[in-house]
Chain A
């Protein structure tokens, strides 16, 4: 055994440790200092004092800790401070987004708003509502769901139950690729086929086709995950009873995973409900109620928001309507999400084992 030329530094077990309230004290000090500096320098933006405070906090805890506890501890504290700062920094805009939408949205959001269209209301006048947009969104999303779910679920069944070979590999790969298609590109594709080549006019259905392109990969992915959770023993048990494969899939595999598939479909619906870009290209928008998704422009919640924002001419009434529609849209999506997760949790024990 060769003799070591160095002995690692053995310190005592007793490190100089700063008290637990240290981090809080530095944080409070930084906020006060940040506010003080901003006031003194006449900076009026919240963002500025918050940034100053964040920098002071990180630098302060490093400096003091490096003096008292040593460099390693100081680095550890800096990391902790940075993680906290990252967390708070991210929380601010996200909470502000929700808060602003709710605060400004409730102003005009009432029964009248939900049950009337914009038919006779000028863009800058108060009044009117989103009834026509809700109808349009429901029809477009409903049609997209009708197209995507069978294709998506069947594709997933193919991948999990039948797919081996090269075709399955290609499908898996391109489903992944499809997940990343920007919505505007999906819109351009339908535009080039449906409107430029087949010479059809804008309609809700044209939008639904583009939305399906966005929805199919999500449905395939989530259904695939769910089907993979179904234990093979179940399939074998059914096959061993002489049940044909297709009936096994329909009667055993799908019912076992139906909860998870439903969750996936609902999350996919939530995702496409807020899509605006393809709708802008393919459905356009109108202020009137159009219940026929196969002909003429149709309104939709996202396009309604865009239109109110775009044509507001700076009018408060239009902005209020935009916020209220945004609140409705978010509420719809959040409810879908919550219900979907609820179903997932409720059905989990059955599919889980």
Chain B
């Protein structure tokens, strides 16, 4: 069910401000693609254009093409709600629904899409929680509020919630930046497992993390504050970190700026 993403000529705006300009890239299925770059370079904005979350920000607007296999997400007659259903997302800060139990959090997406029997839901919830490496920690407290878990557990709960609806693509916006090192490690391990089934795109500030988890890495940069962010290059992670083809990438990776 993993699908290929093919972006071409994509611009994203906030009102009249051009935030990212002319981005084209391909994201391979069943792999992890990492976005790196300095703050404000538009990597998160770009990520949010991939499931049409960008346009829920007031003034947010996109032109260009994002093909999910053979369907343009921005084509006429495409329902953004259906897009977000197929392209799941995990956010920077864990955001389980505070009023829902662990169980209900995982089942939330499914319940939107129709009625399920209790047994069916039970199965999906267990499967998703196992998929997120969380089952053993929460199986005795499925009916406790999701907000009672630790930060790392909450983030894995959010991942479980996202994969419960079996999306084609999983977008992760700095999923570890609010977590401690041990939780970060758990999530990184999980990403490694999830890529067997999903197309994963992850935005990260942490270059070691990009090097550890991703197969391909895209470097974004902006020429000056107030200028639009651009894709500088995308390549195999190994190459980006050993022998990038653009000087700016090497400067950023070796810590000369950013």
Contact = CB atoms under 8 A, between A and B. Distances in A.
Chains A and B touch each other in the complex, with CB atoms below 8 Å apart? yes
Interface of A: 1-17, 72
A30 to B, nearest CB: 25
Contacts of B246: none
Shortest beta-carbon contacts, A-B, top 10: A15-B79, A13-B82, A6-B120, A5-B123, A14-B77, A13-B78, A4-B127, A8-B165, A1-B130, A13-B71
Given A2-B126, A13-B78, A13-B86, 20 more contacts: A1-B130, A3-B127, A4-B127, A5-B119, A5-B123, A6-B116, A8-B110, A8-B165, A8-B166, A10-B1, A13-B82, A13-B83, A14-B71, A14-B77, A14-B79, A15-B78, A15-B82, A16-B77, A17-B79, A72-B112
Contacts of A14: 71, 77-79, 82
A5 B120 contact: yes
10 contacts: A2-B123, A6-B123, A8-B164, A9-B114, A11-B82, A12-B71, A12-B82, A13-B83, A15-B78, A15-B82
B187 interface: no
A69 to B, nearest CB: 9
From DSSP, what is the main secondary structure of chain A's interface residues? loop
A4 B112 CA distance: 18
B178 interface: no
B130 A8 contact: no
A232 to B, nearest CB: 28
B27 to A, nearest CB: 17
A111 B1 CA distance: 80
Contact of B86 (A1, A5, A10, A17): A10
Q: Which of A6, A7, A9, A17 has the most CB of B within 10 A?
A: A6
B151 interface: no
Contacts of A8: 110, 113, 124, 164-166
Nearest to B83: A13
Contacts of B116: 6
A15 B123 contact: no
Contacts of A6: 116, 120, 123-124
Interface in B110-144: 110, 112-114, 116, 119-120, 123-124, 126-127, 130-131
Interface SS of chain B: helix, strand, loop or mixed?
helix
Given A1-B127, A1-B131, A72-B112, A17 B120 contact: no
Contacts of B185: none
Contacts of B85: 11
B77 A4 contact: no
B73 interface: yes
B166 A7 contact: yes
A72 B115 CA distance: 12
B68 A4 contact: no
B123 to A, nearest CB: 5
A2 B113 CA distance: 22
A167 B183 CA distance: 45
Q: Which of A10, A12, A13 has the most CB of B within 10 A?
A: A13
Contacts of A11: 82, 85
B32 to A, nearest CB: 20
B113 A17 contact: no
Nearest to A70: B79
Contacts of B82: 11-15
Interface in B33-68: 68
B115 to A, nearest CB: 11
B130 A2 contact: yes
B84 to A, nearest CB: 10
Contacts of B114: 9
Contacts of A16: 77
Contacts of B81: 15, 72
Nearest to B123: A5
Contacts of A15: 77-79, 81-82
Contacts of B86: 10, 13
A2 B123 CA distance: 8
A14 B127 CA distance: 28
A280 B2 CA distance: 75
B138 to A, nearest CB: 16
Nearest to B119: A5
A2 B127 CA distance: 6
Contacts of B110: 8
B6 to A, nearest CB: 15
A6 B68 CA distance: 24
Contact of A4 (B71, B83, B124): B124
A269 to B, nearest CB: 37
Nearest to A76: B81
A13 B68 contact: yes
Interface in B171-230: none
A104 to B, nearest CB: 41
Contacts of B130: 1-2
Interface in B79-94: 79, 81-83, 85-86
B113 A9 contact: yes
Contacts of A12: 71, 82
Contacts of B166: 7-8, 10
B117 to A, nearest CB: 9
Nearest to B72: A13
A93 to B, nearest CB: 30
Contacts of A3: 127
Given A2-B127, A8-B113, A13 B79 contact: yes
A105 to B, nearest CB: 39
Nearest to A2: B127
Nearest to B52: A13
